[in-house]
């Protein structure tokens, strides 16, 4: 998986799993009529490595318009959130998982605004992979609909 400029493919994902670079975390937050449920996957960059975000699956009981964006400032909303509840291999992830019902941070760039149907799950990245450099992150949030949301991130942290 050297530094050549190419897509992260299924073979890379298998290599990441074998090498212990594949991580997943699931979290939940409940939106209110005043603040949305906000989910962040932040790359603090202490190792200087990018994240390869493979999947961002969101589900909810109700329908809503969802925003997926990139951010350059850590909102630090999940100090106690689990960093990863599944990893293959050794070591904790570099990425930080954050989730809370707060005022949504303003994305530097909006990457997608899909509509999720009531009672369904949507993968906001499929098909593809988003490269998240050090000191950046991804943010996902819905509208002001009082309902619970569940988010599952899947990413790889391979050395360059």
Q: How far apart are CA 30 and CA 147, in angstroms?
A: 6
What are the helix (H) ranges across 10-141? Answer: 10-19
* Per-residue confidence in pLDDT tens, the chain, 160 aa: 443 445 566 677 677 777 778 888 888 999 988 999 999 999 998 888 889 999 999 998 888 899 999 999 998 887 556 666 666 656 778 888 899 999 999 999 999 999 888 888 999 998 788 999 999 999 999 877 888 999 999 998 877 6
**Structure tokens, 156:** 């790889």
Compute the Cα dihedral for 92, 157, 134, 106 and give only its sign: negative
Conformational region of residue 63, where left means phi above 0, alpha means psi within -120 to 50, and beta covers everything else: beta
Q: How far apart are CA 37 and CA 122, in angstroms?
A: 16
**Structure tokens, 78:** 């999940």
Nearest Cα neighbor of 144 from 60, 57, 65, 58 is 65
Nearest Cα neighbor of 132 from 79, 94, 80, 75 is 94
Element (DSSP H or E) covering residue 23: strand 22-30
Q: How far apart are CA 5 and CA 19, in angstroms?
A: 20
Q: How far apart are CA 158 and CA 3, in angstroms?
A: 10
Tell me the pTM. 0.87
């Amino acid at each position: 998986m050297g530094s050549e400029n190419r897509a992260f493919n299924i073979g890379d994902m298998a290599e990441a799993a074998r090498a212990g670079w594949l991580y997943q975390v699931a979290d939940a937050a409940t939106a209110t009529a005043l603040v949305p449920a906000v989910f962040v996957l932040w790359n603090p960059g202490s190792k200087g490595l990018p994240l390869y975000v493979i999947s961002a699956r969101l589900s909810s009981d109700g329908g809503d318009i969802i925003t997926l964006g990139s951010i350059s400032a850590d909102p630090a909303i999940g100090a106690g959130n689990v960093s990863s509840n599944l990893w293959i291999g050794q070591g904790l992830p570099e990425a930080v998982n954050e989730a809370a019902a707060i005022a949504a941070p303003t994305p530097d760039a909006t990457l997608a605004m899909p509509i999720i149907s009531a009672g369904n799950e949507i993968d906001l990245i499929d098909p593809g992979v988003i490269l998240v450099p050090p000191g950046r992150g991804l943010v996902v949030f819905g509208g002001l609909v009082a309902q619970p949301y569940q988010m599952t991130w899947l990413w790889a942290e391979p050395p360059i």
